Amino acid sequence: MSDGTALVERIAERRAGQGDPLDMIGELRRAVVLVPVDSGGLWTAALGGVRWICAFTGEASLARFARARARVPGASGDDAARSWQYAAVRGARLLDEVVPALGVPAGVAVDIADPEGSMFFPPVHGIVPDAVAVDVDAEGHARTEGGGV
Amino acid (1-letter code) at residue 28: L
Read off the pTM.
0.85
CB atoms within 10 A of CB 71: 9
Contacts of 15 (CB under 8 A, 6+ apart): 116, 117, 119
Rounded mean pLDDT, 42-55: 94
Residue 73 confidence (pLDDT) above 90: no
Q: What's residue 71's pLDDT?
A: 74
Among the residue ranges 21-25, 39-43, 48-52, the one predicted with the least confidence is: 39-43
For 80-108, how does the pLDDT look when each residue is reduced to its tens digit (9 = 90+)? 556 789 999 999 999 999 999 999 999 99
pLDDT for position 83: 78
Q: Report the pLDDT value the prediction gives residue 75, as an integer from 0 to 100.
A: 56
Tell me the domain boundaries of the chain: 5-132
Closest CA to 121 of 42, 35, 51: 51
**Residues with Cβ < 8 Å from 76, sequence gap 6 or more?**
none
Mean pLDDT across the stretch 55-78? Answer: 80
Please write the tens of the pLDDT for every residue from 9-32.
999 999 899 999 999 999 999 999
